[in-house]
Structure 1
């Protein structure tokens, strides 16, 4: 009886170990094929955003950084120019603007 309980407990521990390992690998699955070298880069992202704000330049960009948003990598940033605040997310791989918000500063 003790042998049977021990066998079941060991089997349970093995199954738990395998499922934890598989789960840990699947969390990083989409990052395996995408290296940081395939991102457009912070300078290009900044230039994409600045093209939407005529007259603004890099000194008006107060923040820009790489972030994960809804499962994808984006450059998230803010531009302050001429009394307006522009918030944006730019897809880090394609350079497409996925969020653009304008508010009075």
Structure 2
């Protein structure tokens, strides 16, 4: 036992025999103690009970958050929109008309410069109207009113002799489309004289379609005609 103590004492003296050895020995001892402390602390922490996490609740919250971000209905009230019917009523009220007075050619939601707007377009026998209604506030962003190029009595004052007349021209155009004059809404019925040729330009709407005719004012012959979806 005495020999072992002397051996250990000699080893310690050897470790601290010079300043350099003393520094290295002290540094190694500090590292050893520090590592031992970390090991003991980690082992003690592992033995402590921890409450289990409710992963189902976490997943549910995550899914709900994702659904809310994808669902426009979950956004704030600032993003709520008026209905298309409300936008139509706003446009009609501004024009001083009722729904029975007009024919709609466009009524849809669109975006202008990042702002949701309703584009409303309709016409009467005399005018075409275009509106942009803010879909969030219901305010009118823009409006336009254009009068149809309808004939005036003075335009036909020089037409005599073989001129069939504007009413006959309208009847010919409507009949060619398979309608009567009372079935359609005319937007243009104009007499023109160009390089000695006399003709009527007739335009009308029916069931979302626009029809255009050019009719010889002397013979009633259809010179040109076209039809397309009204946009």
TM-score (norm 1): 0.60
How many Å separate the matches in 2 of 1:57 and 1:86?
13
User: Aligned pair 1:92/2:163, yes or no?
Assistant: no
Which structure is higher in RCO with an 8 Å CA cutoff and minimum separation 6? 1
Alignment counterpart, residue 81 of structure 2, candidates 23, 39, 61 = 39
| Contact 1:56-1:81 at 8 Å conserved across structures | no
Partner residue of 1:65?
A: 108
User: Which has more radius of gyration?
Assistant: 2
How many Å separate the matches in 2 of 1:62 and 1:71?
24
Count of residue correspondences: 74
Partner SS, residue 96 of structure 2: coil
Distance 1:34 1:89, change over 3 A: farther
For 1:1-105, list aligned pairs within 5 A.
33=75, 38-57=80-99, 59-105=102-148
Partner SS, residue 63 of structure 1: strand
Partner SS, residue 78 of structure 1: strand
Aligned CA-pair RMSD: 2.4
**Structure 1 unaligned blocks of 5 or more:** 1-30
Partner SS, residue 103 of structure 1: strand
| Contact 1:91-1:98 at 8 Å conserved across structures | yes
Shift of residue 33, structure 1, vs aligned partner: 4.3
Partner residue of 2:5?
A: none
Which deviations, in whole Å up to 9, do the C-alpha atoms of 1:28-66 show, x marking residues without a partner?
xxx89468x711010100000010122331652221000
